[in-house]
Structure 1
């Protein structure tokens, strides 16, 4: 159960990071609301998951999921340029996240 919560929290990290970028310094209401809600839920889920998952692995997985999804979202929908190198590096992050999960 902790791993499922950790993965969901990593997804929410990508949500709040994207919303933060769209909030224009918290001047836009709805992206700011999404940011705050997703941030609290993501941190709460991380805290829950770290009760049974070692902090090093748990935090690395959480950040890895959030970072990979944020980059992929930005390349797909946010106007950030696509490149093969960027895609391969994101896949490397995903491989490392899977590796950490397999070790625990």
Structure 2
């Protein structure tokens, strides 16, 4: 499970993740990165617009899936912990994050 660490050297919040969770998220991002490079290559090679749009939609769906996985982890770990510790401001932070994700 994730564990948030407060007060690192730069004063920003950080989250400690298990090696398994970190690898899983990095693998997802690496696949997305490959999709984006593929789309760029399609554009450079004058691929048909519709084909590029289909690949772009697939990359967007992959980013959304990444966000859902990370959000679920955040809620189950950081948010639950902060609420249990009486840090209710985490709810406002979560609402703001959800609003950004839903744009």
TM-score, length-scaled by structure 2: 0.39
**Larger relative helix fraction:** 1
Larger RCO, structures 1/2 (Cα 8 Å, 6+ apart): 1
> Higher Cα Rg: structure 1 or 2?
2
TM-score, length-scaled by structure 1: 0.39
